[in-house]
Structure 1
């Protein structure tokens, strides 16, 4: 789980980093500006940003708006700031910070980030016209040579793909290259 901490005072960030690391979290970086966070976040595949509400270059809402969508934000601020925030997609812990609340919240948020990652992996990417044509050609070849229906040819390609640990398109390419001899 990627964790980025950002507070205007580096000592505050270092204290939270120490707490998180003692509880099994690996912290990627402790930053003091929103720009530093954004530069790092754009190179990571998602995670949690733990932050204060104001930095030298922006406010927490701006940072949230610029973060990649696979990042969650945990705001650590005064009760006044937490109560006045208008964004429901930003979780907030009130100061003074309770260690057990921080850890429970991080556990909940990391579970959500992991669930979201798994969900996006399940969405198949759209195939290109060339890939669709390769699959169609491989199925037609199997149907013609082996007297299969289109569904049987497709299942055959899927089964070979899983057995070989290759993608469906790559399997179709192999079938075409081996059977067109």
Structure 2
């Protein structure tokens, strides 16, 4: 699950930013006034964007960024002199006063970037090593030999067992090999 968390020391400012984002079709998961509250909100999400000010009630934005999981990005809204002192990875800055158009476009851009990274991670997870491919092939060959299955049937059987047991295909192939090799 992903979402946007708005964090400003002034609750009214945070609510105004949240309202702008919600009106723009964005899903805001939390409104916070402290860094601790923000970190607590992040624990309920897999990834997301934190829209915040330069200084929260209990910490600066740099401290908050250090504590944030790498799956989260930060949109800092502050005067340029507050955030121009150095580029921090995962922090995008918007200068005050903000324009609604700039806020919406920046959040949209950050959201698209997160979706692309998520797709890339999923694609990397799908690619199997040659050793894993060999393991699956051996399990299919064993099923084909012992149970008189075609390759397609053996593959579907492995997939079904994988889904039923809640394990990935490689682990299922390992289980089949260990059970049938006895």
TM-score, length-normalised on structure 1?
Answer: 0.77
Residue by residue, what CA displacement relative to the aligned partner does 1:9-58 show, whole Å, maximum 9, x if unpaired?
11110000000000001111110011111111122110100000111211
Q: Which structure 1 residue ranges, 4+ long, deviate > 6 Å from structure 2?
A: 173-176
Which runs of structure 2 are paired with 1:1-181 in the superposition (5 Å)?
A: 1-124=2-125, 135=136, 138-142=139-143, 144-145=145-146, 157-161=154-158, 166=163, 167-169=168-170, 172=173
What is the RMSD of the two structures over their aligned residues, measured on CA atoms? 3.7
CA distance in 1, matches of 2:22, 2:144: 58
CA distance in 1, matches of 2:155, 2:96: 54
Cα 1:157–1:16 shift into 2, 3 Å: farther
Residue by residue, what CA displacement relative to the aligned partner does 1:80-134 show, whole Å, maximum 9, x if unpaired?
113223325310000001000000001100001111112222232899xxx99x8
Post-superposition offset of 1:162: 5.7
Cα 1:138–1:77 shift into 2, 3 Å: same
Q: How many residues align?
A: 173
Which stretches in structure 1 are left out of the alignment for 5+ residues? none
Q: Secondary structure at the match of 1:141?
A: helix
CA distance in 2, matches of 1:120, 1:95: 34
CA distance in 1, matches of 2:127, 2:101: 44
> Are the aligned partners of 2:54 and 2:78 in contact in 1 as well (CA < 8 Å)?
yes
TM-score, length-normalised on structure 2?
Answer: 0.76
Residue by residue, what CA displacement relative to the aligned partner does 1:143-170 show, whole Å, maximum 9, x if unpaired?
644899xxx96x7654555688834257
